[in-house]
Amino acid sequence: MDVVYNIINIPFQYARHVSTILHMAAMPRKTKPATSEPLPSAVPADDLADAITQHLGDRVRQLRSERGWSLQVLASASGVSRSMLSQIEREQANPTLAVTLRIAQAFGMTLGDLVQIPDASSSITVIRANDRAFHYRSDKHCRIRTLSPLNLEKDVEFYEVQLQPGGALRSAPHFQGTREFLTVVKGEVRVESGRDGEVLQTGDSVSYRADVPHAIINVGTKDAVLFLVDIYSNAARPRSS
């Protein structure tokens, strides 16, 4: 009996919001120098806090201006008072983590994206194979692992999908204009898009409409491993939850 997983909404809805963590260089300890050369000075904590506060104020004001939002609109969207938002933009307030998170969510962003200071974090994002935060589903029948940073989900989604023999991944129509691109790394699968269908072997690639009912079915006798990319049209991208 086929194992069928119904996924109603794409992109996959995570039960958790994963925030990007700033990769700040560790401050050196105050140790006695081994030579007469002076130690480099660490950035004072107060200066770093001031830089973050200034950046946050500029960032909120910029994002609000780009969207044509008034302070009242942002207040309604975030649940943060208009006066607090005004103080943040004028760099007169140091908001709590909870307040900053609500502002980020109002803009449809992660906390890290909102507060990240240019050049303060690494330009390389690594997703480790054993990082469970990126495993959407993992059981004896099917494993789905995202290979794209979670904060980029609204633009493009890149997944590794593993299906056991008889396993299927069936999806309702996504947003209008959405297309999926699939490459078979291992095994044999059948891809269905609306009334059309094709059987793919190892190494085959396919693109198809994903704004109609579609499915990926393991029709082989061995495990299937796939790379799946979802790309949304500029006119209709998923809204943040």
pLDDT of 155-207, one tens digit each?
688 999 999 999 999 999 998 899 999 999 999 999 999 999 999 999 999 99
Neighbouring CB atoms inside 10 A of 72's CB total 10
pTM for the predicted model, two decimal places:
0.50
Q: Is the pLDDT of residue 214 over 70?
A: yes
Question: CB of 167 within 8 A of CB of 141?
Answer: yes
pLDDT for the residue 182: 97
pLDDT for the residue 5: 39
Chain segment 89-103, per-residue pLDDT in tens? 998 888 888 899 999
Chain segment 102-136, per-residue pLDDT in tens? 998 998 888 877 877 665 555 677 888 878 778 87
Cα–Cα–Cα angle for 156, 157, 161, nearest 5°?
155
| pLDDT band with cut points at 50, 70 and 90 for residue 225 | very high
Q: Is the pLDDT of residue 81 over 90?
A: yes
pLDDT for the residue 239: 43
Q: Is the pLDDT of residue 234 over 70?
A: no
Per-domain residue ranges for the chain? Answer: 45-115, 126-231
pLDDT for the residue 157: 87
pLDDT for the residue 165: 94
Question: What is the spatial distance between Cα 129 and Cα 240, in angstroms, rounded to a whole number?
Answer: 26
pLDDT for the residue 59: 87
Q: Is the pLDDT of residue 219 over 80?
A: yes
pLDDT for the residue 118: 60
22 vs 39, which has greater pLDDT? 39
CATH superfamily of 45-115: lambda repressor-like DNA-binding domains (1.10.260.40)
Q: Is the pLDDT of residue 228 over 90?
A: yes
| pLDDT band with cut points at 50, 70 and 90 for residue 44 | low
pLDDT for the residue 23: 32
Residue 226 CB-density burial (10 A; 0-12 exposed, 13-18 middle, 19+ buried):
buried
| pLDDT band with cut points at 50, 70 and 90 for residue 151 | low
pLDDT for the residue 128: 83
Question: What is the spatial distance between Cα 110 and Cα 128, in angstroms, rounded to a whole number?
Answer: 20
Question: What is the spatial distance between Cα 18 and Cα 110, in angstroms, rounded to a whole number?
Answer: 7
Within 8 A by CB and 6+ apart from 226, the residues are 160, 161, 162, 163, 182, 183, 184, 185, 187, 189, 216
Chain segment 7-28, per-residue pLDDT in tens? 333 333 333 333 332 333 333 4
Instruction: Summarize the confidence of residues 38-67 as an average pLDDT.
Output: 70
CATH superfamily of 126-231: Jelly Rolls (2.60.120.10)
